[in-house]
Amino acid sequence: MDLPFISLQQFQDFLLCLARIMALVAAIPAFTGSQIAGRLKIGLAVTTTLLLFPALVPYTPKTPLSLTWFAVLLVNEVLIGVLVGLIAQMVFAAVSFGGTVIGYQMGFAAANIFDPQTTQQLSLMSQFANILALMLFLALDMHHFFFRAIVESFALLPPGPLDFSQDAIDNLMRQASHMFVLGVKFSAPVLALLLLANLVLGVLARVFPQLNVFMLSFPLNIGIAFLVIGLTLPATFAILRREFDTMGENILTMLHLLR
C-alpha cells in the first residue's frame, strides 16, 4: 500500500506548528529546568503537534513561503512561546523573591541549595516556596491550560508578523512590576512579625545586658517564621490561586496585543 504523499506546504505548516508548540511546552512551569530531559520535551511537543495538526491547519499560511520568510516565521513562533513562558514564570519568580527575603530574615542567608528547575543556587526558603507553588499549580490543573492555549493561540494569533507595539511592551512591564508587589505580599506577614520580635529582643538586650540576644534570636526567628508561614498558608494559597487564574488572562491579553 502506498503511503500518502506529504506536500511541501503540509511539511512547512507542520514545522511552523511544531516550533510554537515546542516553545509553549517548554514554557510550562512543570517542564522547565534541566530536571526534565530534553528528549522528553521534544517527544511531548512532536506528539502534541501530530494530534493537534488537523485542527491547526486552517490557521497556517495558505501559500508556499520563501526560505527567508519561513525562517522569520519560525523565529516569531519561538518568540511567542518565550513570551508565554516569561508571563507564566513571573508568578514563580515572585514566590522565589518572597521566599528569599523570608530566608534572609530568618537567618538562612548561608543555607543555599541547588535548584534543578533554574540550575541556580537558591535559598532554602525560596526553594520551599517554589515547591509549594508548583504543587498548587499542578493541583489546580493549570498545566492543562497551556495545552488548551495552543489551539487558542493559533486562533488568536496565526503564524505571521508580530506587532511589538507599545501596548504589548507596556503590558509586559506592568506584569513585571506586579511580580515585585506579589513577592512583598508573600513575605509581608513574616517580615512584620520578625521585625516585632527583633524589636522586643532589642529592648531585652538593653534591660538585661547579660542576656545573649544574638544566640537567642536564631531559634526564635526560625520558630516565629515557620509558625507564621503555617498560619498564613490558606491565605497564601488563595493569593496564588488568584494569580494562576489571572495568568491565563494575561497570556491571552498578550496574544491579542501581538496581533
**Tens digits of per-residue pLDDT, 8-36?**
777 888 888 888 888 877 777 777 666 67
SS3 string, the chain, reads CCCCCCCHHHHHHHHHHHHHHHHHHHHCHHHCCCCCCHHHHHHHHHHHHHHHHHHHHHHCCCCCCCHHHHHHHHHHHHHHHHHHHHHHHHHHHHHHHHHHHHHHHHCCCCCEEEECCCCEEEEHHHHHHHHHHHHHHHHCCHHHHHHHHHHHHHHHCCCCCCCCCHHHHHHHHHHHHHHHHHHHHHHHHHHHHHHHHHHHHHHHHHHCCCCCHHHHHHHHHHHHHHHHHHHCHHHHHHHHHHHHHHHHHHHHHHHHHCC
Mean of the pLDDT values across residues 134-145?
82
pLDDT of residue 141: 80
Please tell me the pTM assigned to this model.
0.77
**Tens digits of per-residue pLDDT, 164-218?**
776 777 888 888 888 888 888 888 888 888 888 888 888 888 887 777 777 777 8
